[in-house]
């Protein structure tokens, strides 16, 4: 268990930095509780690199094809970052410098997962209003879809719509904690009311889940975290069945697929509370395991955890994790301080 009074610290399995190098990726992950976006990379000498900047209530992350841009959902904005460093160049040992170049004010929409739609316009899960929404240039957001059982757009978080799987530039699947049309009604359905829904057909593809999060499409499979039971697995869409593949010792929320591996983010219980009667709590006790905050690298063929990252100190809860392809050691420009004043890129030059 981490102690908030401890200084922030990152520890990893012995092979984690080498795994990053072999996979030719670095990782970005968000913690809304501590208000940070963190990046993990590998230095040229093989040592781990950790870079972080503060963004209030950092949530979903979406990486554009090629890895030169990503979107981040925050407390009241969707931000887009672009790599301003030409490929092949380095700055202070970093081979990518992501700077904020666009933002859309959404208000306090409790934005969760995010993706890139046509023309690089972010689409995001607007949990407070129980819908999927596009960013808008003249309004807080533009609703584009809502579950068929939601009868009105109200700021009431009726079903806790949270996760989004994209197929190209289109939303494909979402995760929902409970089929409720009442304000906060999902809270009574955390144990087995969760579902995955097909956005195009409005049909439920699997139900009976517990607090599902982070649906992701990769290699023809729909991967999902059944968070309330601590399960990583996939949905057999034809059979309408969830197939667990691995147990995750913590609240699993946030996932990205890298080749034959899934990187899963883990969180501790909030404010030293237990996991509120979820099956995860019982399973941890049965296994004699303590929950942890960090990342797991899971082999999707075997379910084995092959590498791990653990976080200590004030960071207790993570929301999302994303892979930055072909970037070994990234850095990040925040919204405050001198770097945002001086990192300037000029189009066409």
* pLDDT score of 273: 58
Sequential pLDDT tens for the chain (349 residues): 455 557 889 999 999 999 999 999 999 999 999 999 999 999 888 899 999 999 999 999 999 999 999 999 999 999 999 999 988 888 888 999 999 999 999 999 999 999 999 999 999 999 999 999 999 999 999 999 999 999 999 999 999 999 999 999 999 999 999 999 999 999 999 999 999 999 999 999 999 999 999 999 999 999 999 999 999 999 999 999 999 999 999 999 999 999 999 999 999 986 555 567 799 999 999 999 999 999 999 999 999 999 999 999 889 999 999 999 999 999 999 998 888 888 888 887 6
* pLDDT score of 1: 46
Q: Look at the alpha carbons of 146, 263, 57, 310 in this order and tell me if their dihedral is positive or negative.
A: positive
* Nearest of 135, 152, 133 to residue 143 by alpha carbon: 133
pTM over 0.75: yes
Q: DSSP of 125-184, one letter per residue? A: EETTTTEEEE--SSSS-EEEE--TT--S--SS-SS-EEEEEEETTEEEEEEES----STT
Q: How many C-beta neighbours within 10 Å does residue 80 have? A: 23
Do 140 and 105 touch, CB atoms closer than 8 A? yes
Q: How many C-beta neighbours within 10 Å does residue 188 have? A: 11
- Distance between CA atoms of residues 172 and 199, nearest Å: 5
Do 62 and 74 touch, CB atoms closer than 8 A? no
* pLDDT score of 5: 59
- Distance between CA atoms of residues 294 and 287, nearest Å: 19
47 burial level (CB within 10 Å; 0-12, 13-18, 19+): exposed
Instruction: Compute CA 87 distance to the chain's CA centroid, rounded to the nearest angstrom.
Output: 26
Listed by start position, the domains of the chain span: 9-24+106-328
- Distance between CA atoms of residues 151 and 148, nearest Å: 7
Any idea which fold 9-24+106-328 has?
Neuraminidase (2.120.10)
């Amino acid at each position: 268990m981490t102690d908030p009074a401890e200084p922030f610290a990152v520890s990893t399995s012995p092979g984690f930095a080498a795994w990053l190098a072999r996979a030719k990726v670095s990782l970005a992950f968000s913690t809304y509780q501590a208000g940070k976006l963190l990046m993990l990379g590998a230095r040229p000498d093989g040592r781990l690199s950790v870079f972080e900047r503060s963004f209030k209530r950092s949530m979903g992350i979406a990486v554009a094809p090629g890895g030169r841009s990503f979107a981040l959902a925050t407390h009241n904005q969707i931000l887009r970052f672009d790599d301003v460093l030409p490929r092949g160049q380095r700055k202070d040992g970093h081979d990518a410098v992501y700077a904020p170049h666009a933002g859309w004010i959404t208000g306090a929409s409790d934005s969760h997962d995010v993706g890139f739609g046509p023309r690089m316009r972010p689409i995001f899960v607007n949990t407070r209003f129980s819908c999927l929404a596009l960013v808008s240039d003249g309004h807080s957001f533009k609703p584009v879809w809502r579950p068929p059982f939601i009868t009105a757009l109200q700021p009431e978080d009726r079903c806790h719509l949270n996760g989004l799987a994209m197929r190209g530039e289109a939303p494909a699947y979402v995760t929902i904690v409970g089929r409720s049309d009442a304000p906060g009604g999902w809270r009574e359905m955390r144990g087995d009311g969760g579902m995955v829904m097909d956005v195009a057909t409005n049909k439920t593809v699997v139900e009976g889940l517990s607090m599902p999060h982070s649906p992701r499409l990769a290699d023809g499979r729909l991967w999902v975290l059944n968070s309330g039971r601590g399960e990583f697995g996939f949905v057999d869409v034809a059979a309408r069945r969830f197939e667990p593949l691995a147990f995750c010792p913590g609240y699993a929320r946030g996932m990205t697929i890298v080749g034959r591996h899934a990187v899963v983010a883990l969180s501790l219980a909030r404010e030293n509370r237990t996991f509120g009667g979820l099956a995860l709590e019982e399973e941890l006790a049965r296994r004699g395991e303590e929950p942890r905050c960090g990342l797991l690298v899971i082999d999707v063929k075997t379910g084995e955890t092959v590498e791990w990252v653990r976080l200590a100190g004030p960071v207790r809860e993570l929301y999302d994790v994303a892979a930055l392809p072909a970037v070994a050691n990234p850095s990040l420009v925040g919204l405050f301080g001198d770097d945002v004043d001086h990192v300037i890129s000029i189009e066409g030059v």
